[in-house]
Structure formats: structure tokens, C-alpha cells
Amino acid sequence: MADQGPLNPIPSARTEAARAALRRQAIETPSWGYGNSGTRFKTFPWPGAARTVYEKIDDAAYVHRLTGVAPSVALHIPWDRVDDWRALRRYAEERGVAIGAINPNVFQDDDYRLGSLCHPDARVRRKAVDHLLECTEIMAATGSDVLSVWLADGTNYAGQDDLVRRKEVLEEGLREVAEALPEGGRMLLEYKFFEPAFYHTDLADWGMAYAMTLKLGERAQVLVDTGHHAQGTNIPHIVAFLLSEGKLGGFHFNARKYADDDLIVGSENPFELFDIFVKLVEAGDRAADVAYMIDQSHNIEPKLEAMVQSLVNCQVAYAKALIVDYPALREAQRAGDVLGAHRVLLDAYQSDVRPLLAEVRHELGVPADPIRALRDDDYPQRIARERGVAAAGGGYPTDG
């Protein structure tokens, strides 16, 4: 029998629109993903892992040259602190990338044992706010337009602290920071329902983060970390709700099986990742300002390969979301055709988009297979020789 081709060929008009959107795709990589980082139990050092923020930028620029979709790199302060932020900005731009989100750290100092912006001691709260204000100044100096805030604040025992007081001082501190954002800057509030605190977390879920952003104004939005939810949480539903409210600011992409596992995005539940991108495509212009960022802990994986694989998985999910037959989906939804509507999504999800992505990469002037190009290149071996193996132990991260 002659080969009759695919059962459901994708119309050329749809693939052309998908190519155009894929060429514009941009996903930020994190500086900390290029250094030695791991778990609370152990950080395994990797040959050639970046030791300084300059080496992290070098690696981020290399990943962008391989993929064409990673034009910016997020910084974590104080892990990435330098004396001259404008010089760091120039260094990044000379290598073809920009400085992206600035991520404050208010969870590793000994002072933050009982919290940061919610701490019982006003002195510690002031220290935390001042650090966030410093990060708004770093935003201005580096050209960043995103302050990405995650707080480890919480308690371990009932009665440990006054939860209402904590909420009120949290709002007070965040408002001061929001008012100091540089022109055009946004604050993205991340949430997490447990860990390192186990009784309560001050921003435990998307609803609490959303409520706080309503208090803080238009320049505050919610950041969805795909690993920061209880088992069974419907993340695409959260995404759709926040998009409708104009409060979805961005993503930290990773994957989880049990808790905040920080695995490679798309590795555990690829259909969920696809469904998230479907909601983003359906939103159209309402998703125009959403920031897409990787946030993972590459502990046993090769640093560069893990980052490239993460970007490829996001490209695949986005490509499949772009080729959904949305008019057919709407028709089935209006008709109450439950399985017909679901099959429209399945048709796209089960499509092989690798040829489409190869075409897009050719148009971007990057390798058709970024993973193969990385494995065939001598860059990983060269930086391993030049940088060696940095000492590492427990905790996350050990560099910075």
C-alpha cells in the first residue's frame, strides 16, 4: 500500500502562522541554572559549571546561539552581584543577550530565619525591604523591566506568629518596593504553598498572590511557577483566570512529580505544558506581556544540555498549541461536543512538530537539532578544561 501521508495534515496557512509566532518566541534562562546548584541534600559539581556571573552570561549567550529563543538571562542577587552593573549590561549585550528579571534573595541570610518582609522584628523587615529596593536600582542600571519576588516567609507551627500582622506588614513592604520600580518596570509575585515553611507560607497560592497584586496596582502581577502547586492543581485553569484578569505576569517553567522538584520543564507532564500554551495562544494580545522564564535545579544533568532541552520542550509545546484548529474547537464547544472538542486538542498534541521546528530554526539561523549541535561542539569540553570543577556541597546553590 502506498504511503498516504499523515492522517490529519496541518493546513499550510496554520503552519505559516505558527512559524511566524515561533520565530518570535522568547524564553529567559536563569543565571543560577548555569552554575552548580542542587538540593538541600547535595549539590554535585559539574565540570565547567559557571563560577561567576560573567561565565553564566557566556553560557546563556551560547545557549541562545544554539536555540535562537533565549535572548535574555535572569540574575539573582546577591549571587550575581558586581561592582559595575552598567558594565555587566554591556558585557551581556556584546554577547548577544540582555539582562532579564532581577531576583532578590531574602531567604539565605541568618537574619531571615523567621522571615523577611513578614519577620516579627522591624529591623529585619527593613533590611529585606532595603534589599528589594537595591534590586529596583539594579533593574534601572541593567535595563531590566521585571522584579521577580519569591519569599520563603512562613511559619512551622500553629501559634508561632500572628498571621494577620504578617499579611499587613507584607503588603506594606511590597507597596514601598512597587512604588520604587523604574519606569516601565513590573513586580511579579511568586507563590508557594509549602517549603521551607511547613505550617503556612505568607504567599501560599495564586489567589493570595493575586489579592496582593490588586492592592499593589497595575505594575504588580502574578508569577506562576509550574512546580509550586499541590498535587492535582489545574495550572492551565489558573493561567486562564489570571489572563482574563490581566494579572498573569510570567512563568517560572519547571516540572514536578511530587513537590517542588525543579525538573526539566515538560519532562513529567508534557500535556499540561501544552495545555498551558493553548491558554496563552487563546488569550491573544492579553498574553503579549507575559514573561517566560526557566527556573530549574540542574543537579545531576549537564548544565548546558539541560537548559537546551528545557527550551526545546517549550518550543515543542508552543508549536503544538499554535497548530490547534481553534475555529473547530470553538464550534465543538458551542455544540456541547465534549469529546469532539477534546479531540481537536489531541490532534494538535499528537502531531509531530519537529519538521516545523527545524524549518523555524533554519529561518533563525540556528542548528536544526540544538541538542545534537551541542553534543557535537567542543564548547562544553573547552569550558570544562578552562573552569575545572568547582567545590560543591549541600544546599542550593553553592556558587555566587
Q: In this structure, are strands 29-30 and 291-294 parallel, antiparallel, or unpaired?
A: unpaired
Q: In percent, how much of the chain has pLDDT > 70?
A: 95
Tens-digit pLDDT profile for residues 330-351: 999 999 999 999 999 999 999 9
Instruction: Residue 239: name the closest of 268, 276, 207, 266 by CA.
Output: 276
Q: What is the CATH architecture assignment of 13-387?
A: Alpha-Beta Barrel (3.20)
pLDDT at 392: 55
Tens-digit pLDDT profile for residues 310-335: 999 999 999 999 999 999 999 999 99
Query: Looking at the predicted structure, is the pLDDT value of residue 246 above 50?
Result: yes
pLDDT at 40: 73
Helix (H) or strand (E) holding 171: helix 163-179
pLDDT at 10: 77
Amino acid at residue number 211: A
Maximum distance among all Cα pairs of the chain, rounded to whole angstroms: 78
Tens-digit pLDDT profile for residues 24-34: 999 999 999 99
Averaged pLDDT, 128-147? 98
Query: Looking at the predicted structure, is the pLDDT value of residue 250 above 50?
Result: yes
Tens-digit pLDDT profile for residues 41-50: 888 999 999 9
Query: Looking at the predicted structure, is the pLDDT value of residue 1 above 80?
Result: no
Higher pLDDT, 3 or 397: 397
pLDDT at 319: 98
The length of the chain is 400
Please tell me the pTM assigned to this model: 0.94
What DSSP letter does each residue of 343-383 carry, written as one string? HHHHHHHTS--HHHHHHHHHHHTS-SSHHHHHHHSSHHHHH
What DSSP letter does each residue of 55-105 carry, written as one string? HHHHHHHHHHHHHS---EEEEEETTT--S-HHHHHHHHHHTT-EEEEEEE-
